[in-house]
Amino acid sequence: MTTEQNADDSLRKHIIKILNGGDAHLYFDDLTEGFPVDRCGEKIHGLPYTAWQVLEHLRIAQWDIIEFALNPEYV
């Protein structure tokens, strides 16, 4: 197997793991299930963030990934 094939195989395995939810610190459904909306500004126990900050981080990260995938000049 060539280095290029090896890299391609490794990337494919990583993408499959990510799509199957293999590397998430918290799953979105677990984070939001039954969460009281009026407490979105409070820090989450054991984390230095509020629920709103975590949600905003997810939004920005997803936008960043999409822009990277669609725009070859994205930095």
How is the chain split into domains, by residue range? 25-75
Tens-place pLDDT, residues 22-37: 666 677 788 788 889 9
Q: What pLDDT score does 61 carry?
A: 93
Give yes or no for residue 63 having a pLDDT over 80: yes
Kindly state the average pLDDT of the residues 49-59. Answer: 89
Asked if 51 and 26 touch (Cβ cutoff 8 Å), the reply is no
**How crowded is residue 12: how many other Cβ atoms within 10 Å of its Cβ?**
10
Place of tokens 């509020």: 50
